[in-house]
Amino acid sequence: MLCKICKSKGKREKAVIYLRHHRLALCREHFIEWFERQTEKTIKEFKMFSRKEKVLVAVSGGKDSLSLWFALNKLRYETYGLHISLGIEKWDYSKKSLEICRKFSDRIERPLIVFNLKEEFGYTIEEIAKGSKRKDVCSVCGSFKRYLMNKIAKEKGFKVVATGHNLDDESALLLSNTIRWEVGYLGRQSPVLPEEGGFARKVKPFCFLTEKETVSYAILNEIEYMKTGCPNAKEATSSHFKRALAYLEHQMPGTKLRFYKEFLRKAKPIFEKEVRGKVELNECQVCGMPTTAPVCSVCRTLQRLKEC
Ligand code: AMP
Ligand code: FES
Ligand code: ZN
Ligand code: ZN
Protein backbone atom coordinates (compact mmCIF):
# COMPACT_ATOMS: atom_id res chain seq x y z
CA MET A 1 0.00 0.00 0.00
CA LEU A 2 1.25 3.48 -0.83
CA CYS A 3 1.08 6.65 1.29
CA LYS A 4 -1.95 8.67 0.22
CA ILE A 5 -0.33 12.07 0.83
CA CYS A 6 2.89 11.17 -1.01
CA LYS A 7 0.79 9.78 -3.86
CA SER A 8 -1.12 13.06 -4.14
CA LYS A 9 2.26 14.76 -4.58
CA GLY A 10 3.29 12.32 -7.29
CA LYS A 11 5.69 10.36 -5.03
CA ARG A 12 5.58 6.61 -4.43
CA GLU A 13 6.28 6.01 -0.74
CA LYS A 14 5.30 2.78 1.03
CA ALA A 15 2.75 3.23 3.84
CA VAL A 16 3.73 2.06 7.35
CA ILE A 17 0.20 2.22 8.74
CA TYR A 18 -3.36 1.92 7.49
CA LEU A 19 -5.96 3.82 9.52
CA ARG A 20 -9.03 1.86 8.59
CA HIS A 21 -11.61 4.21 10.11
CA HIS A 22 -10.10 7.20 8.31
CA ARG A 23 -9.38 5.13 5.14
CA LEU A 24 -5.90 6.54 5.25
CA ALA A 25 -2.59 4.81 4.43
CA LEU A 26 0.44 6.85 5.52
CA CYS A 27 4.22 6.71 5.40
CA ARG A 28 6.29 7.35 8.53
CA GLU A 29 6.71 11.06 7.94
CA HIS A 30 3.06 11.70 7.10
CA PHE A 31 1.73 9.54 9.92
CA ILE A 32 3.80 11.50 12.46
CA GLU A 33 2.59 14.74 10.92
CA TRP A 34 -1.04 13.55 10.95
CA PHE A 35 -0.78 12.33 14.56
CA GLU A 36 0.64 15.63 15.83
CA ARG A 37 -1.94 17.62 13.89
CA GLN A 38 -4.74 15.58 15.50
CA THR A 39 -3.23 16.20 18.94
CA GLU A 40 -2.99 19.94 18.33
CA LYS A 41 -6.56 20.01 16.99
CA THR A 42 -7.90 18.36 20.16
CA ILE A 43 -5.93 20.77 22.39
CA LYS A 44 -7.37 23.75 20.52
CA GLU A 45 -10.93 22.40 20.21
CA PHE A 46 -11.25 21.83 23.95
CA LYS A 47 -9.11 24.85 24.94
CA MET A 48 -6.90 22.51 26.97
CA PHE A 49 -3.92 24.86 27.36
CA SER A 50 -1.91 27.47 25.53
CA ARG A 51 1.80 27.89 24.83
CA LYS A 52 1.93 30.40 27.68
CA GLU A 53 1.02 27.78 30.30
CA LYS A 54 3.28 25.21 31.92
CA VAL A 55 1.91 21.70 31.43
CA LEU A 56 2.54 18.89 33.90
CA VAL A 57 2.56 15.63 31.91
CA ALA A 58 1.90 12.60 34.11
CA VAL A 59 4.16 9.85 32.82
CA SER A 60 3.98 6.21 33.86
CA GLY A 61 6.71 5.01 31.50
CA GLY A 62 4.12 3.48 29.17
CA LYS A 63 3.68 4.19 25.46
CA ASP A 64 0.76 6.63 25.77
CA SER A 65 2.16 9.01 28.32
CA LEU A 66 5.69 9.08 26.88
CA SER A 67 4.28 9.64 23.37
CA LEU A 68 2.20 12.45 24.81
CA TRP A 69 5.20 14.12 26.42
CA PHE A 70 7.16 13.70 23.17
CA ALA A 71 4.37 15.15 20.98
CA LEU A 72 3.64 18.11 23.28
CA ASN A 73 7.32 18.95 23.48
CA LYS A 74 7.62 18.72 19.69
CA LEU A 75 4.58 20.97 19.36
CA ARG A 76 6.55 23.55 21.43
CA TYR A 77 4.46 23.44 24.60
CA GLU A 78 6.26 24.07 27.90
CA THR A 79 6.18 20.61 29.42
CA TYR A 80 7.40 19.04 32.67
CA GLY A 81 7.12 15.34 33.40
CA LEU A 82 5.74 13.91 36.63
CA HIS A 83 6.41 10.31 37.58
CA ILE A 84 4.92 8.78 40.70
CA SER A 85 7.16 5.96 41.86
CA LEU A 86 4.97 3.44 43.65
CA GLY A 87 7.55 1.05 45.12
CA ILE A 88 6.30 -2.07 43.30
CA GLU A 89 9.12 -4.61 43.55
CA LYS A 90 7.70 -7.45 41.48
CA TRP A 91 9.47 -7.64 38.07
CA ASP A 92 11.43 -4.57 39.27
CA TYR A 93 8.41 -2.73 37.91
CA SER A 94 8.76 0.63 39.67
CA LYS A 95 12.54 0.74 39.32
CA LYS A 96 12.38 0.07 35.58
CA SER A 97 9.51 2.53 35.03
CA LEU A 98 11.48 5.27 36.76
CA GLU A 99 14.62 4.46 34.76
CA ILE A 100 12.68 4.66 31.50
CA CYS A 101 11.13 8.02 32.46
CA ARG A 102 14.53 9.43 33.48
CA LYS A 103 16.17 8.30 30.24
CA PHE A 104 13.32 9.81 28.26
CA SER A 105 13.53 13.10 30.13
CA ASP A 106 17.27 13.23 29.29
CA ARG A 107 16.53 12.47 25.65
CA ILE A 108 14.04 15.30 25.19
CA GLU A 109 15.94 17.56 27.61
CA ARG A 110 12.92 18.38 29.75
CA PRO A 111 12.76 18.18 33.58
CA LEU A 112 11.17 15.22 35.31
CA ILE A 113 9.58 15.60 38.74
CA VAL A 114 9.66 12.34 40.69
CA PHE A 115 7.45 11.60 43.67
CA ASN A 116 8.62 8.54 45.57
CA LEU A 117 5.79 7.12 47.67
CA LYS A 118 7.98 5.09 50.04
CA GLU A 119 10.31 8.03 50.72
CA GLU A 120 7.56 10.62 51.14
CA PHE A 121 4.86 8.62 52.92
CA GLY A 122 6.92 5.76 54.38
CA TYR A 123 4.91 3.07 52.55
CA THR A 124 4.80 1.47 49.11
CA ILE A 125 1.46 1.34 47.29
CA GLU A 126 1.05 -2.34 48.22
CA GLU A 127 1.61 -1.57 51.93
CA ILE A 128 -0.89 1.27 51.69
CA ALA A 129 -3.48 -0.98 50.02
CA LYS A 130 -3.03 -3.66 52.72
CA GLY A 131 -3.80 -1.11 55.40
CA SER A 132 -6.76 0.43 53.60
CA LYS A 133 -10.36 -0.71 53.57
CA ARG A 134 -10.30 -1.36 49.83
CA LYS A 135 -7.91 -4.23 49.25
CA ASP A 136 -7.61 -3.92 45.48
CA VAL A 137 -4.15 -2.40 44.97
CA CYS A 138 -4.83 -0.86 41.56
CA SER A 139 -7.93 1.01 42.66
CA VAL A 140 -6.19 2.39 45.78
CA CYS A 141 -3.27 3.26 43.50
CA GLY A 142 -5.62 5.10 41.12
CA SER A 143 -6.96 7.33 43.88
CA PHE A 144 -3.47 8.03 45.26
CA LYS A 145 -2.19 8.93 41.79
CA ARG A 146 -5.11 11.30 41.15
CA TYR A 147 -4.56 12.93 44.53
CA LEU A 148 -0.81 13.33 43.99
CA MET A 149 -1.18 14.75 40.49
CA ASN A 150 -3.40 17.48 41.96
CA LYS A 151 -1.28 18.09 45.02
CA ILE A 152 2.02 18.30 43.15
CA ALA A 153 0.47 20.53 40.47
CA LYS A 154 -0.78 22.88 43.19
CA GLU A 155 2.51 22.93 45.10
CA LYS A 156 4.63 23.50 42.00
CA GLY A 157 2.36 26.09 40.41
CA PHE A 158 0.90 24.10 37.50
CA LYS A 159 -2.65 24.80 36.42
CA VAL A 160 -2.80 21.92 33.93
CA VAL A 161 -2.14 18.19 34.25
CA ALA A 162 -2.11 16.08 31.07
CA THR A 163 -2.54 12.31 31.02
CA GLY A 164 -2.04 9.78 28.24
CA HIS A 165 -5.59 8.36 28.12
CA ASN A 166 -6.41 7.31 24.55
CA LEU A 167 -9.60 6.62 22.60
CA ASP A 168 -9.59 2.93 23.60
CA ASP A 169 -9.49 3.94 27.29
CA GLU A 170 -12.13 6.64 26.94
CA SER A 171 -14.59 4.64 24.83
CA ALA A 172 -14.25 1.60 27.13
CA LEU A 173 -14.88 3.82 30.16
CA LEU A 174 -17.88 5.32 28.40
CA LEU A 175 -19.32 1.90 27.60
CA SER A 176 -18.78 0.76 31.16
CA ASN A 177 -20.42 3.90 32.60
CA THR A 178 -23.32 3.57 30.16
CA ILE A 179 -23.97 -0.09 30.89
CA ARG A 180 -24.09 0.72 34.59
CA TRP A 181 -25.93 4.03 33.99
CA GLU A 182 -23.45 5.85 36.17
CA VAL A 183 -25.09 9.23 35.66
CA GLY A 184 -22.56 11.07 37.83
CA TYR A 185 -19.57 9.66 35.98
CA LEU A 186 -21.23 10.25 32.61
CA GLY A 187 -21.73 13.90 33.51
CA ARG A 188 -18.07 14.27 34.32
CA GLN A 189 -16.36 12.13 31.64
CA SER A 190 -14.61 14.64 29.44
CA PRO A 191 -11.42 15.41 27.45
CA VAL A 192 -11.00 18.36 29.82
CA LEU A 193 -12.02 18.78 33.42
CA PRO A 194 -11.92 22.45 34.35
CA GLU A 195 -9.77 23.84 37.10
CA GLU A 196 -12.05 24.19 40.12
CA GLY A 197 -12.23 24.00 43.89
CA GLY A 198 -8.47 23.59 44.25
CA PHE A 199 -8.20 20.89 41.57
CA ALA A 200 -5.91 21.41 38.58
CA ARG A 201 -7.36 21.31 35.05
CA LYS A 202 -7.12 17.71 33.75
CA VAL A 203 -6.67 17.19 30.05
CA LYS A 204 -6.46 14.19 27.74
CA PRO A 205 -5.03 15.36 24.40
CA PHE A 206 -4.95 11.77 23.00
CA CYS A 207 -8.63 11.05 23.67
CA PHE A 208 -9.42 10.76 19.93
CA LEU A 209 -6.36 8.70 19.05
CA THR A 210 -6.46 4.90 19.28
CA GLU A 211 -4.01 2.70 21.11
CA LYS A 212 -2.77 1.39 17.77
CA GLU A 213 -1.95 4.96 16.78
CA THR A 214 -0.15 5.83 20.03
CA VAL A 215 1.93 2.60 19.89
CA SER A 216 2.82 3.32 16.27
CA TYR A 217 3.82 6.87 17.14
CA ALA A 218 6.03 5.58 19.98
CA ILE A 219 7.70 2.97 17.78
CA LEU A 220 8.22 5.29 14.80
CA ASN A 221 9.87 7.82 17.12
CA GLU A 222 12.00 5.12 18.75
CA ILE A 223 10.57 5.82 22.18
CA GLU A 224 11.67 3.23 24.72
CA TYR A 225 8.65 2.40 26.90
CA MET A 226 7.52 -0.20 29.47
CA LYS A 227 6.11 -3.19 27.61
CA THR A 228 4.62 -4.84 30.67
CA GLY A 229 1.64 -3.50 32.55
CA CYS A 230 1.33 -3.23 36.30
CA PRO A 231 1.96 -6.65 37.96
CA ASN A 232 -0.94 -6.06 40.35
CA ALA A 233 -3.48 -5.57 37.57
CA LYS A 234 -5.94 -8.41 37.44
CA GLU A 235 -8.12 -9.00 34.41
CA ALA A 236 -9.76 -5.59 34.73
CA THR A 237 -13.40 -5.23 33.77
CA SER A 238 -12.29 -2.44 31.43
CA SER A 239 -10.58 -5.07 29.25
CA HIS A 240 -13.96 -6.79 28.62
CA PHE A 241 -15.33 -3.48 27.38
CA LYS A 242 -12.22 -2.92 25.27
CA ARG A 243 -12.66 -6.34 23.66
CA ALA A 244 -16.35 -5.72 22.99
CA LEU A 245 -15.52 -2.42 21.31
CA ALA A 246 -12.67 -4.00 19.32
CA TYR A 247 -15.20 -6.48 17.92
CA LEU A 248 -17.63 -3.71 16.98
CA GLU A 249 -14.79 -1.66 15.50
CA HIS A 250 -13.75 -4.62 13.36
CA GLN A 251 -17.29 -5.06 12.05
CA MET A 252 -17.96 -1.32 11.70
CA PRO A 253 -14.79 0.79 11.45
CA GLY A 254 -15.14 4.13 13.21
CA THR A 255 -17.49 2.85 15.93
CA LYS A 256 -15.23 3.82 18.85
CA LEU A 257 -14.65 7.34 17.59
CA ARG A 258 -18.33 7.88 16.75
CA PHE A 259 -19.50 6.48 20.07
CA TYR A 260 -17.24 8.81 22.05
CA LYS A 261 -17.59 11.93 19.88
CA GLU A 262 -21.37 11.68 19.67
CA PHE A 263 -21.56 11.15 23.41
CA LEU A 264 -19.64 14.38 23.97
CA ARG A 265 -21.82 16.27 21.51
CA LYS A 266 -25.28 14.89 22.23
CA ALA A 267 -25.48 13.06 25.54
CA LYS A 268 -22.93 14.61 27.89
CA PRO A 269 -24.73 17.98 28.15
CA ILE A 270 -27.81 16.15 29.46
CA PHE A 271 -25.88 14.27 32.16
CA GLU A 272 -23.89 17.38 33.02
CA LYS A 273 -27.09 19.17 34.01
CA GLU A 274 -27.95 16.29 36.34
CA VAL A 275 -24.71 16.52 38.31
CA ARG A 276 -23.99 20.26 38.21
CA GLY A 277 -23.36 21.71 41.68
CA LYS A 278 -24.17 18.42 43.41
CA VAL A 279 -20.83 18.02 45.17
CA GLU A 280 -19.74 20.43 47.82
CA LEU A 281 -16.02 20.58 48.43
CA ASN A 282 -14.09 21.83 51.40
CA GLU A 283 -10.43 21.71 52.39
CA CYS A 284 -9.05 18.57 54.02
CA GLN A 285 -8.16 19.38 57.64
CA VAL A 286 -4.83 17.58 57.28
CA CYS A 287 -3.46 18.35 53.81
CA GLY A 288 -5.70 21.17 52.58
CA MET A 289 -6.68 19.42 49.35
CA PRO A 290 -10.33 19.54 48.24
CA THR A 291 -12.59 16.82 49.62
CA THR A 292 -16.23 16.14 50.47
CA ALA A 293 -15.34 14.83 53.97
CA PRO A 294 -13.58 16.72 56.80
CA VAL A 295 -10.41 14.65 56.14
CA CYS A 296 -9.67 13.37 52.61
CA SER A 297 -9.49 9.66 51.88
CA VAL A 298 -5.72 9.70 51.28
CA CYS A 299 -5.03 11.32 54.66
CA ARG A 300 -7.49 8.97 56.36
CA THR A 301 -5.74 5.94 54.85
CA LEU A 302 -2.31 7.23 55.90
CA GLN A 303 -3.57 8.00 59.43
CA ARG A 304 -5.00 4.48 59.73
CA LEU A 305 -1.65 2.97 58.68
CA LYS A 306 0.22 4.96 61.33
CA GLU A 307 -2.18 3.71 64.01
CA CYS A 308 -1.55 0.04 63.07
P1 AMP B 1 -3.46 4.04 33.60
O2 AMP B 1 -4.59 4.28 34.51
O3 AMP B 1 -2.34 3.24 34.18
O4 AMP B 1 -3.88 3.58 32.23
O5 AMP B 1 -2.80 5.47 33.36
C6 AMP B 1 -3.49 6.52 32.80
C7 AMP B 1 -2.60 7.74 32.74
O8 AMP B 1 -2.24 8.13 34.06
C9 AMP B 1 -1.28 7.52 32.02
O10 AMP B 1 -1.40 7.71 30.62
C11 AMP B 1 -0.39 8.55 32.66
O12 AMP B 1 -0.60 9.82 32.07
C13 AMP B 1 -0.90 8.60 34.10
N14 AMP B 1 -0.10 7.71 35.00
C15 AMP B 1 -0.29 6.39 35.25
N16 AMP B 1 0.60 5.92 36.13
C17 AMP B 1 1.40 6.95 36.47
C18 AMP B 1 2.54 7.12 37.34
N19 AMP B 1 3.03 6.11 38.05
N20 AMP B 1 3.09 8.36 37.44
C21 AMP B 1 2.60 9.39 36.74
N22 AMP B 1 1.54 9.30 35.91
C23 AMP B 1 0.94 8.11 35.76
FE1 FES C 1 -0.79 1.06 40.43
FE2 FES C 1 -1.63 -1.37 39.59
S3 FES C 1 -0.80 -0.85 41.49
S4 FES C 1 -1.71 0.54 38.59
ZN1 ZN D 1 3.89 10.06 2.76
ZN1 ZN E 1 -5.89 15.21 52.99
Question: What residue type is assigned to position 81 of the chain?
Answer: G
At 286 the pLDDT is 96
Do residues 78 and 56 lie in contact, with contact meaning Cβ atoms separated by under 8 Å?
no
Residue 32 Cα to ligand 3 middle (Å)? 10
Euclidean distance between CA atoms 159 and 238, whole angstroms: 29
Pocket flag, ligand 1, residue 58 (CB < 6 Å): yes
Q: What is the mean pLDDT of residues 190-218?
A: 95
Q: Which residues pair with 203 in a beta bridge?
A: 162, 192
Predicted confidence (pLDDT) at residue 237 exceeds the cutoff of 80: no
Site residues for ligand 2, CB cut-off 6 Å? 86, 125, 137-138, 141, 230, 232-233
Q: What is the mean pLDDT of residues 78-96?
A: 96
Q: Where are the domains of the chain?
A: 32-227+249-276, 278-307
Residue 28 Cα to ligand 3 middle (Å)? 7
Q: In whole numbers, what is the pLDDT of the chain averaged over residues?
A: 94
Residue 10 Cα to ligand 4 middle (Å)? 61
Predicted confidence (pLDDT) at residue 84 exceeds the cutoff of 90: yes
Q: What is the mean pLDDT of residues 157-186?
A: 96
Euclidean distance between CA atoms 226 and 244, whole angstroms: 25
Euclidean distance between CA atoms 206 and 42, whole angstroms: 8
At 235 the pLDDT is 66
Q: What is the mean pLDDT of residues 167-171?
A: 97
The pLDDT tens digits for 7-65 are 999 999 999 999 998 999 999 999 999 999 999 999 999 999 999 999 999 999 999 99
At 119 the pLDDT is 96
Phi, psi of 86 (to 5 degrees): -95, -10
At 258 the pLDDT is 97
58 annotated as belonging to a binding site for a ligand: yes
Q: Which residues contact 143 (CB under 8 A, 6 or more apart)?
A: 297, 298
59 annotated as belonging to a binding site for a ligand: yes
Q: What is the mean pLDDT of residues 298-304?
A: 93
Q: Which residues contact 55 (CB under 8 A, 6 or more apart)?
A: 49, 72, 77, 78, 79, 80, 158, 160, 161, 162
Do residues 266 and 175 lie in contact, with contact meaning Cβ atoms separated by under 8 Å?
no
Q: Which residues contact 201 (CB under 8 A, 6 or more apart)?
A: 48, 49, 159, 160, 161, 192, 193, 194, 195
Do residues 162 and 251 lie in contact, with contact meaning Cβ atoms separated by under 8 Å?
no
Do residues 97 and 103 lie in contact, with contact meaning Cβ atoms separated by under 8 Å?
no
- In this structure, of 95-99, 138-142, 274-278, the range with the lowest mean pLDDT score is 274-278
Please, which pLDDT band fits residue 253 given cuts at 50, 70 and 90? very high
What is the CB neighbour count within 10 angstroms for residue 108?
Answer: 16
Yes or no: domain 32-227+249-276 corresponds to CATH 3.40.50.850: no
Pocket flag, ligand 1, residue 64 (CB < 6 Å): yes
Do residues 197 and 281 lie in contact, with contact meaning Cβ atoms separated by under 8 Å?
yes
Q: What is the mean pLDDT of residues 223-233?
A: 92
Give CA separation, 231 vs 86, 93, 97, 132, 234, in Å: 12, 8, 12, 19, 8
Q: Which residues contact 53 (CB under 8 A, 6 or more apart)?
A: 78, 159, 160
Pocket test for ligand 2, best of 148, 232, 238, 239 (most atoms within 8 A of CB): 232
Predicted confidence (pLDDT) at residue 182 exceeds the cutoff of 70: yes
Predicted confidence (pLDDT) at residue 133 exceeds the cutoff of 80: no
At 307 the pLDDT is 82
Predicted confidence (pLDDT) at residue 265 exceeds the cutoff of 90: yes
CA dihedral of 24, 25, 28, 29, whole degrees rounded to 10: -50
Q: What is the mean pLDDT of residues 109-124?
A: 96
Exposure string over 14-52, b if 16+ CB within 10 A, otherwise e:
ebbbebeeeebbbbbebbbebbbebbeebbeebebbeee
3-state secondary structure of 162: strand
The C-alpha angle 259, 72, 170, rounded to 5 degrees, equals 20
At 223 the pLDDT is 98
Residue 284 Cα to ligand 4 middle (Å)? 5
Walk across the sheet containing 112-116 and list its strands.
112-116, 78-85, 54-58, 160-162, 201-203, 192-193
Give CA separation, 200 vs 46, 52, 152, 171, in Å: 16, 16, 10, 23
Which ligand lies nearest the alpha carbon of 139?
Answer: 2
